[in-house]
Amino acid sequence: MSALRPVITIAALGTVLLLSGCAATGSDVGDIAGAGTPWPETTTFDYQLGGPYELGPGVGIVARDRTAPPAPDAYTICYVNAFQTQPGEAGSWPSSVLLTDDEGDLVHDPDWPDEVLLDTSTPDRRAAIVAVVAPWLRGCADDGFQAVEFDNLDSFTRSAEALSLEDNIDLARMLSDVAHDAGLAVGQKNTAEHAARLRADAGFDFAVTEECAAYEECAAYRDVYGDAVLDIEYTDELPRSFAQMCADADSPTLMILRDRDLHTPDSAEYVFEACPPRG
């Protein structure tokens, strides 16, 4: 690597947020972490949605699917697909909350065609979505997770204007309230252009981002969340070397490189690399 990065401990993130110019109107990371397991000191994290595996050296934070066990020796974030169905699971949702087009056909995510968008357009439908997701969130807390991330917050951008940012913010706020009541910190997933609004109105505590360095969006998150930003870059869309991205002052302190499908280490396609401390 061409440069070194400062060692930022997660225990300090709450302080960083309080000292930053963008104070949240919702709960901050320090407050929420204090309700459960404290944020650990760490120099990196891992993103294990493809399946859980043993943590590597220095990994103090890890994200895993809600169906996986939390890591016993790390601050574990519970992944929940809260705005779309998981592949193959559309049939387990009430039909009333599955978004349909004018012809009555289900609206799928064009990049993930096995996922159907959830209809967040009315208070009743948002309440029905919460009725499904809330037990998952409480289950994450009961299992020992310390935080949660809600994926596909930006589903409204793929809905042909059937859904709106306001719809999704309303749902995010409802889900954040449930998570906070359960003692979980809540992470914003992507949607950089609305980060300030989402933190203020939906109560997010930190951010989990994908490819913010590749798309030059990291500053938008850091302006709102300080160093409470976890970024995953992917091997198939690197505009420059990962070493150069790590050395960029705009890149988050905690940034890793993963293979797109998030394979486990027993696969030949597995990739994991973390930015070194910047000196």
Q: How confident is the model at residue 19 (pLDDT cuts 50, 70, 90)?
A: very low
What pLDDT shows up at residue 29?
46
Q: How confident is the model at residue 182 (pLDDT cuts 50, 70, 90)?
A: very high
Please check whether residue 3 lies inside any domain of the structure: no
Q: Looking at the 3D structure of the chain, how many domains does it have?
A: 1
Please check whether residue 74 lies inside any domain of the structure: yes
Please check whether residue 5 lies inside any domain of the structure: no
Residue 31 has pLDDT above 50, yes or no: no
Sheet holding 147-151: strands in order across? 44-47, 59-65, 75-81, 147-151, 185-189, 206-210, 229-234, 254-258, 272-274
Residue 14 has pLDDT above 70, yes or no: no
Identify whether the C-beta of residue 98 lies closer than 8 Å to the C-beta of residue 109. Answer: no
14 against 48, higher pLDDT: 48
Please check whether residue 250 lies inside any domain of the structure: yes
What pLDDT shows up at residue 62?
97
HSE-CB at 97 with a 13 A cutoff on CA atoms is 25
How far apart CA 218 and CA 216 sit, in angstroms, is: 6
Q: How confident is the model at residue 104 (pLDDT cuts 50, 70, 90)?
A: very high
Neighbours of 163 (CB within 10 A): 22
Instruction: Give me the mean pLDDT over the 217-244 stretch.
Output: 95
- Tell me the whole-structure pTM to 2 decimals: 0.86
How far apart CA 122 and CA 255 sit, in angstroms, is: 37
Q: How big is the CA angle at 205 (ends 121 and 8), to the nearest 5 degrees?
A: 145
Neighbours of 266 (CB within 10 A): 8
Residues linked to residue 116 through DSSP beta bridges, in sequence order: 108
Find the CATH number of the domain harbouring 60. Answer: 3.20.20
Instruction: Give me the mean pLDDT over the 258-269 stretch.
Output: 98
Averaged pLDDT of the chain: 87
What pLDDT shows up at residue 112?
86
How far apart CA 258 and CA 256 sit, in angstroms, is: 7
What pLDDT shows up at residue 16?
33
Q: How confident is the model at residue 39 (pLDDT cuts 50, 70, 90)?
A: low
Residue 207 has pLDDT above 60, yes or no: yes
Please check whether residue 95 lies inside any domain of the structure: yes
Residue 236 has pLDDT above 60, yes or no: yes
Please check whether residue 57 lies inside any domain of the structure: yes
Residue in 64, 72, 62, 70 with CA at minimum distance from that of residue 254: 62
Please check whether residue 279 lies inside any domain of the structure: no
Q: How confident is the model at residue 10 (pLDDT cuts 50, 70, 90)?
A: very low
120 against 190, higher pLDDT: 120
Question: In terms of residue numbers, what domain contains 69?
Answer: 10-274
Please check whether residue 174 lies inside any domain of the structure: yes
